[in-house]
A and B are shown apart, each in its own frame.
Chain A
Amino acid sequence: MAPSTYRGNLTMLFFQSLISGLLTGGVYALAGIGMSLVFGVMNVSNFAHGDLMMLGMYMAYFAFTLLHIDPYLSLVLIMPVAFMFGYFLEKVFINRVIHHPHQNQILLTIGLGLIMSNSTLLAFTSDPRILTTSYSSSSFNIFNDISVSIPLLLSFLITCGITAILYLFLARSRTGMALRATSQNREAAQLMGINVSRMSAIAFGLGTALAATAGALIAPTYYIHPLAGHSFLLKAFTICVLGGLGSVVGATVGGLIIGVVESMSSTYISTDWKDVVVFALFLAVLLFRPQGLFGKKGGQ
């Protein structure tokens, strides 16, 4: 092999993993934004976030197998249902521990997560399911040899759309401004006449809707399994801490970074070690920049 083609192949390999990393990272970002929003507005670490994603995966699966709705189209159904579910969870459970110590909030969400994952396990058994659409494994090539998976690209584009709408909502709408005010200073927001308890429920509903959407978006490319939430939970946390807990912009960038780091370490180290690299990065962030890339408050 001539040196020039060899170098060409190396460049190809690099761009290939960069692109697949960015595409997957977009969906991770969506999950991260949901968690960050909840953290910012409510100051609660939601340990059920991964399980909410898993529920989104199952919703997309059953919408496809039972109702024959395309997984991307089913988002129109999944998002409002998930929002209402999240709103309900906040009103019935989370709301009651909002002034409790962090530990109680974490344990409550762990308990809720265990109930979700193990009820799913009881109802649908532990057999992994696969959602196969007609375009599940199709892809096209750009720049000669870099292949782009169509389902991943679609997920990425939908993610971009949802993120843009969310930014507009948070920046322009009255509810969005009230959400940001609650996030900045809960007491002051309450004094200004904002119904902070309603804002919490909306934030948790949005967080749940985003988690379920992320789950539905990766359903066509992942195994659907009742315990799939675990690994996504850890990824969502890594993204939030990397971007700065509570920062929506940070979570978006964090998601893309984690996607690329994961795909690069699969290419250059090995798929077995990619999660180790991600968690090591997480610890490095805690060590050197605990407030994250875009965090406002110091971690100290």
Chain B
Amino acid sequence: MIKQSIISVVLLIIAIALPLVTGQNPYITGILISVLMMATLASAWNIVGGYAGQFSFGHAAYFGSGAYTTMIMISVFNSNPLLGMVLGIVVACLIALVTGSIVFRLRGHYFALASIAVAEIVRLTVLNLEFTGGAQGILLTDVTFFSLDLNSKNPFYYGMLLTLALTLAITAWFHKSKTGYYLQAIREDQDAAASLGINIAFYKNKSLLISAALTSIVGSIYAVYIRFIDTHAVLDLSLSIEIILTAIIGGVGTLWGPLLGAVLLVPLAEMLRSNILGDALFRLGVVSESSAIGMFLKDGLAHAHVLVYGIITVLCILYLPKGILGFFRRGK
């Protein structure tokens, strides 16, 4: 426990100090924000997916709730982003309650399937309605938040860091609270848990609500950070899947696993997207840039990060089903 606390404090100090080192380079800060964002999303998903064992495939709906509510509040009502964030949490929790009340009576495959159906209904509704901007999305030209300089990336870095710290604190609380023990009991054996008098549906719903609220906060920060959202960016099924893969590859049901997953995967995706591998081959003269293979590397590899995620997932499930962190835990 003491070791755990020391690790957390050291990591937090490093994370707080990091922009002082990289502050001059907005590109690096951008990647760090992406890492923090994916780490928070995967950690928030881990609360319901890892601890309660309920694999939600619709977390994009909660992310999108935060993003869309915040953007609509700012662009239509000119409100403070904070109000949008709070309303976003309310919307996300309502969606979570609807999903939970329909499927938490059921078990097995049903929750996964129903969470996709709810998320798709949310996505298509936003796409077809007028005030959500439809397929065009919402673009924000100007936004103010108290006296912070929102043209700098640092406020968003610290905002994401704060949300991540909150998410991890809640996860750590799960390790020694009644709720946490109940959830793990439900995950291991639902019938045994029920026979001991645990209200299964209540605790599953509770974990889903906490997870949805945290995911929605990240969505709000993302929307104000990027200042543009559409259904493809914030409500797509592929986002939900990316969140799950990050948590799985890092180690599901562990405190640090999802963070580790994000630290490994986000820079990897960025490297593929910015084609560092291709450039290295060109520079070494292995492949000519204008040859057919060169063209393929240039155009193809930029879109290959999802393919790489797929390969890593398959290998992970076959060889490290408990994720990287789970693997090392077992080795001890």
- A interface residues with partner B (beta carbon < 8 Å): 45, 93, 96-97, 100, 102-104, 106-108, 110-115, 118-119, 121-122, 230, 234, 237-238, 241, 245, 272-273, 275-276, 279-280, 282-283, 286-287, 290, 299-300
Contact = CB atoms under 8 A, between A and B. Distances in A.
A255 B11 CA distance: 53
B128 A111 contact: no
Interface of B: 49, 53, 55, 102-103, 105-110, 112-114, 116-118, 120-121, 124-125, 127-128, 237, 241, 244-245, 248, 300, 303-304, 306-307, 309-314, 316-318, 321
Given A241-B113, A283-B102, A118 B303 contact: yes
Contacts of B105: 290, 300
A45 B112 contact: yes
Contacts of B317: 97, 100, 104, 107-108, 111
Contacts of B116: 234, 237
Sorted nearest first, the 7 A-B pairs with minimum C-beta distance are A114-B310, A111-B313, A118-B307, A111-B314, A115-B310, A279-B117, A108-B317
Nearest to A101: B53
B112 A276 contact: no
Contacts of A96: 318
Contact of A273 (B124, B311, B321): B124
10 contacts: A96-B318, A97-B321, A107-B248, A108-B317, A108-B318, A115-B311, A118-B303, A234-B120, A237-B113, A272-B124
Nearest to B103: A286
Contacts of A290: 105-106, 110
A151 to B, nearest CB: 27
B318 A107 contact: no
Contacts of B107: 299-300
Given A102-B109, A108-B318, A283-B114, A114 B303 contact: no
A104 to B, nearest CB: 5
A113 to B, nearest CB: 8
B329 to A, nearest CB: 17
A100 to B, nearest CB: 7
Given A272-B128, A283-B117, A286-B103, A110 B307 contact: no
A276 B55 contact: no
Nearest to B322: A104
A238 B117 CA distance: 9
Main secondary structure of the interface of A (DSSP, over half): helix
A47 B241 CA distance: 12
A279 B245 CA distance: 24
A287 B106 CA distance: 9
B113 A111 contact: no
B332 to A, nearest CB: 22
Contacts of B310: 110-115, 118
B322 to A, nearest CB: 10
Contacts of A107: 244-245, 248, 313, 317
Nearest to B317: A108
Given A111-B311, A286-B106, A106 B318 contact: no
B306 A118 contact: yes
A175 B128 CA distance: 48
A282 B117 contact: yes
Nearest to B187: A101
Contacts of B109: 45, 102, 106, 245
Contacts of B314: 93, 108, 111-112, 115
Contacts of B120: 234, 275, 279
A273 B126 CA distance: 11
B113 A279 contact: no
Nearest to A106: B112
B179 to A, nearest CB: 21
A114 B106 contact: no
B110 A286 contact: yes
A114 B125 contact: no
Contacts of B245: 107
Contact of B307 (A119, A230, A275): A119
